Amino acid sequence: MTRNLKNIFYNFEQGNYGLKIVFDLDGLYLLFGSTNFIYTDAPEFDGWRNWNKLIYKELEKDSLHITEIKEDELTSYFLKLSNRDIFYIYQHMDLEGDWHQNFSMVSPNEDNYNEVAKYMEEEWIETVVPEFRNML
């Protein structure tokens, strides 16, 4: 049975990288911590006070789920969603030379969708959570 994606929470911490994301899969949580994904049924946080809830209209539907997770050598991550949107995590360097991570939700009707989708399908891009479908 596929688990529906119910909520997405994120937190930017100080320092290099520092992006943390929680994908609420209807009682199972997929955590992203700068370089990897892990599953848990009880996420441990230092409270929710520094966390933001992603406003994404598609989460209101009961049929949205993650179909695949891919990565480009710890620099970019792609979560393909059942509605064809792509949750895209990427890195950028600020003017002081510090690396940061950010994300965007890319939909098929957006100008950069084809560019992100093509990048995600390059031959060197790996599926990072091959057991993902077995977990859901």
Helix (H) or strand (E) holding 114: helix 113-120
Give the three-class secondary structure for 110. Answer: coil
Question: pLDDT tens digits for 22-71?
Answer: 999 888 888 888 777 888 877 666 666 678 899 999 988 888 999 989 98
Predicted confidence (pLDDT) at residue 21 exceeds the cutoff of 60: yes
Measured CA distances, 77 to 26, 37, 46, 80, 120 (Å) = 22, 10, 25, 10, 8
Selection from 22, 54, 52 nearest residue 38 by Cα: 22
**Whole-model pTM?**
0.85
Separation of first and last alpha carbons in the chain? 6
Predicted confidence (pLDDT) at residue 2 exceeds the cutoff of 50: yes
Give the three-class secondary structure for 16. Answer: coil
